[in-house]
Structure 1
C-alpha cells in the first residue's frame, strides 16, 4: 500500500515527520483530504488542526497557524509559523 511522507514544521523546529495513509488540513478555501497519488498542490493554511492518519489507523493531531501546505510526489509538507502536537 502506498504511503505519504509527511512533515509538519514550525519556524523553529520539526514537529512531526513520518509515513501516513491520509492527511486532513484546513486551508483558506476549506478543509482538504490528501491521500497517496494526490495531485501536486500548494495551499495557504487557515488556523486549525492538521490530522494525520498513520498506516495502522492511529491518528496524530497538530495545531498549525500562519503557513502553507505543499503536496508533491506523495510528500506532504506543512510549514507554519507556529505548530505543535495536540
Structure 2
C-alpha cells in the first residue's frame, strides 16, 4: 500500500516528519484531504489544524499559521510561518 512522506515545518524548526496514510489541512479555499496518489498541488495555507493520520490510525495534530502545502509524488510538504504540535 502506498504511503505519504510528510514534513511539517515552521519558519525556524521541523515540527514533525514521517510516513502517513492521510493529511488534512486548511487552505484559503477550504479544507483539503491528501491521500497517496494525489495530483500535484501547491496551495496557500490558512490558519488552522493540520491533521496527519498514521497507518496505525494515530493522529498527529499541529496548529499552523499561514504558509503553503505542496504535494508531489506522495511527498507532502507543509511550511508554515508558525506551527506547533497540540
Q: TM-score, normalised by structure 2?
A: 0.99
Deviation of 1:79 after TM superposition, in Å, equals 0.1
Distance in 1, Cα, partners of 2:66 & 2:36 = 25
Unpaired runs of 5+ residues, structure 2, are none
Matched, 1:4 2:7: no
Q: Which residue of 1 aligns with 2:44?
A: 44
Paired residues, what number? 86
Q: Which residue of 2 aligns with 1:76?
A: 76
Length-normalised TM-score, structure 1: 0.99
Secondary structure of 1:82 counterpart = strand
Gaps of 5+ in 1: none
Q: Which structure 1 residue ranges, 4+ long, deviate > 6 Å from structure 2?
A: none
Deviations 1:5-38 (A, max 9, x none): 0000000000000000000000000000000000
Q: 1:56 offset after TM fit, Å? A: 1.0
